């Protein structure tokens, strides 16, 4: 599998195409079990920035997620747990508070445990003024 195919498979998937194992902090792609996303599981770093002020709980926690193929880390993804861990927001570019389409889609997947009942992911992005930028990085 080529890198682009791997990333496209993740980006074009739906959050319902993934299972989540809370004990391991691992998201498994049900359409190709070679693909997974693993939470770093290190203690989250405290994160402070003005864009967090829109949430009732203004503390943020930075964490890394590893996009994996056959258990090997291929690429890292960074997110910020916001509002008392109610949602994980992809780490935005700070000069314009934007994320890529890829970040948005991966964010949708890693929020699966938080959005099973009520999907407020878009609302949380909008509250912070985070938008999607045109180019992919």
Exposed e or buried b for every residue in 3-34, given b needs 16+ CB within 10 A?
Answer: eeebbebbbebebebbebeeeeebbbbeeeee
Would you say residue 6 has pLDDT above 90? yes
> How would residue 116 be classed by pLDDT, with cut points 50, 70 and 90?
low
- For the chain, give the mean pLDDT: 92
pLDDT for position 114? 74
Q: Where are the domains of the chain?
A: 3-132
Least confident of 42-46, 63-67, 95-99: 42-46
Tell me the residue length of the chain. Answer: 137
């Amino acid at each position: 599998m080529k890198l682009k195919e791997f990333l496209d498979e993740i980006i074009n998937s739906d959050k319902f195409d993934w299972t989540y194992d809370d004990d391991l902090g691992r998201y498994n792609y049900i359409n190709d079990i070679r693909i997974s996303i693993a939470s770093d599981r290190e203690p989250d770093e405290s994160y402070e920035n003005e864009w967090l002020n829109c949430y009732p709980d203004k503390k943020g926690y930075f964490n890394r997620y590893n996009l994996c193929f056959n258990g090997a880390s291929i690429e890292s993804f960074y997110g910020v747990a916001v509002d008392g861990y109610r949602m994980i927001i992809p780490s935005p570019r700070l000069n314009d508070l934007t994320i890529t389409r890829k970040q948005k889609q991966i964010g949708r997947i890693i929020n699966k445990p938080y959005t099973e009942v009520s999907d407020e992911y878009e609302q949380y992005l909008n509250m912070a003024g985070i938008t999607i930028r045109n180019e992919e990085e």
